[in-house]
Amino acid sequence: MIVEELTAIQHRLRFLPAEELRALAARINVPLYRLYAVASFFPHFRLTPPAPVEVRVCADMSCHLWGASRLQRSLEGTAKQMGTETVAVTEVSCLGQCDGAPAASINDQIYRNMTDEEMRSLIASAAAGRPLPRLRTASSPKSLRCDPYPDGARFQALRRLVQTRDFAGTIAALKAGDLRGMGGAGFSTGLKWELVKNAPGDEKYVVCNADESEPGTIKDREVMQVIPHLMIEGMIIAGIAVGARKGIIYIRHEYDLEREGLEQALEVARREGVIGNAILGSDLSFDLEIFVSPGGYICGEETALLEVIEGKRAEPRNKPPFPVTHGLHNKPTVINNVETFALVPVILVKGPDWFREQGLHGASGLKFIGVSGHVRNPGVFEVPMGIPASEVIFRLAGGLPEGKSLKAFAPSGASSGFLPASMVDVPLDFKSLAQVGSMLGSGAIVVVVQGTCMVDMALNVAKFFRNESCGKCVPCRVGSQKIVDILTDVTGGKGSSQDLDLIEGLEETLLLTSICGLGQVVPNPIKSVITYYKDEVDDHVARKRCVSGVCFS
């Protein structure tokens, strides 16, 4: 309960006073140093009083492309005029509003598509003590191919499983449908569930990773808004199939609206008797609860997520053992993301053959893709797995702004690196993107038009990884900072060709020695820029010139 208790204190007082931490330590019988260890780790917790008006401007990828740094400088000027003791302006890592860039928060209230004038008006309201309006981003209902219940008769796959008890057949169907983890790793869902089912032990868990905190990644937010009942049904089916009696939805604290929607969906599920004791009148039981993350991209790593639920710092565990045998509280645990659980019911209702046939070019199934950056219609789209990236960018997302041409795109946000415009027809599936040296990851396309400095974009992403590294392992902690230092020199006119050689060595070291995937992907953005935009890099290093006019100013 450590994280929940700290969250409650901060919600009440806006920070964590020392006397409150001492009282909490005594009340829950936990050493005071452990509370400080947790409170000092997460960016959301504050150990000192904040300014009356705390403004945070998202600094990452999509917001960076839409002028976040200019917005921040403007608001810093506003803060000086109003008094920095009243208004504090800082940057913040991705707020999960990439399709509404630039995004910012005022006293933890998040806003999208913000102009200088709109932000100044809100800041003035906050300074005057007036209540701030609340962000509303809920998507309107829509028809989705992955929803097997267009007539509203929900939980049919679960009802059938309760009647048949065909747990092995359920797992076999997921294998036959080739459902893979949609959070980035792409591991076989059926195999994961089978490993947990066969793991010894009477106590097991199901955890849904709804933390998506990587720049560009917004599709799970949409799934929770539009089809939360499918995600919930998928989790219940997982619990029954593997022998777990408890599930936890781990959601990022910035998704306040989505959390409320999930709470309402869980109430509906309880009224229909599909959650709790005696599911649908049977001897089966499974309950679900929501755990709100205190923040941090590293929490998306599955073992770091488990550490947080257990009241610890979000530091990834060494593997093996893996969560399928030693997960939450050291018990066998299924961990999948929102989209993966939401796709389970349609496979069980319409069949694995139907699901596989939805894909294109030899790929299987359906996929949710988030698109942000330089497009006219950013958002989340349900597509066949294997659809060309060009179809998503130019048709579904409305193409590029007037008069602009494509320069690059990141197939999966910060971690995938960039691909050039010449590769825009690459199919969006695990195999095709791996063949071109990239990855599908979580399905987060960030679009970049001509006139953008790719070295500056690589630096922006490197700063994100540096900021979000948990610091547990030396290669990631030091290596991410070193890459930021190198790119800062390159964009500031101090770079050399030896710097590029050093990046190659860092890439190998980080890949081989980092504990988790964060450290392993840190070099991806700059390596892709060196590969596909070598002339631009050489301009910065050898000729001290930025053709986009972004660097050296």
pLDDT of residue 143: 85
- Say yes or no to pLDDT of 384 above 80: yes
- What type of residue sits at position 547? V
Domains of the chain in start order, with CATH, are: 2-39 (no CATH), 53-127 (3.40.30.10), 156-355 (3.40.50.11540), 363-449 (3.10.20.600), 454-542 (1.20.1440.230)
425 in helix, strand or coil? coil
Record the tokens describing residue 236, joined without a space. 């219940």
pLDDT of residue 137: 61
Q: Where are the alpha helices (DSSP H) in 364-496?
A: 389-390, 413-416, 430-435, 454-468, 474-491
pLDDT of residue 377: 96
Beta strands 287-293 and 246-252 are: parallel
Share of the chain above pLDDT 70, in %: 99
Rounded to 5 degrees, φ, ψ at 253 are -70, -20
With tokens 């005029």, the residue in question is: 81
With tokens 């109003």, the residue in question is: 82
The model's pLDDT over 280-309, given as tens digits with 9 standing for 90+, comes to: 999 999 999 999 999 899 999 999 999 999
Cα–Cα distance, 355 to 347 (Å, whole number): 6
Cα–Cα distance, 477 to 487 (Å, whole number): 16
- Say yes or no to pLDDT of 243 above 80: yes
The model's pLDDT over 50-100, given as tens digits with 9 standing for 90+, comes to: 999 999 999 999 999 999 999 999 999 999 999 999 999 999 999 999 999
Q: Where are the alpha helices (DSSP H) in 272-351?
A: 302-309, 338-350
Rounded to 5 degrees, φ, ψ at 194 are -65, -40
- Say yes or no to pLDDT of 142 above 90: no
- Say yes or no to pLDDT of 136 above 90: no
pLDDT of residue 183: 84
pLDDT of residue 18: 98
- The pTM of this model reads 0.96
The model's pLDDT over 258-272, given as tens digits with 9 standing for 90+, comes to: 999 999 999 999 999
- Say yes or no to pLDDT of 205 above 90: yes
Pick from 412, 526, 434: nearest CA to 534: 526
- Say yes or no to pLDDT of 376 above 60: yes
- Say yes or no to pLDDT of 138 above 70: no
**Mean pLDDT value of segment 368-384:** 97
Cα–Cα distance, 121 to 451 (Å, whole number): 32
Beta carbons of 366 and 343 less than 8 angstroms apart: yes
Counting every residue, how long is the chain?
Answer: 553
Instruction: Give the pLDDT band (50/70/90) at residue 43.
Output: confident
Record the tokens describing residue 370, joined without a space. 């988030």
pLDDT of residue 139: 62
- Say yes or no to pLDDT of 553 above 80: no
Average predicted confidence (pLDDT) for the chain: 95
Taking the CA atoms of residue 471, residue 58, residue 342 and residue 380 in that order, the dihedral angle to the nearest 10 degrees is: -140
Beta carbons of 94 and 57 less than 8 angstroms apart: no
pLDDT of residue 416: 93
- Say yes or no to pLDDT of 218 above 80: yes
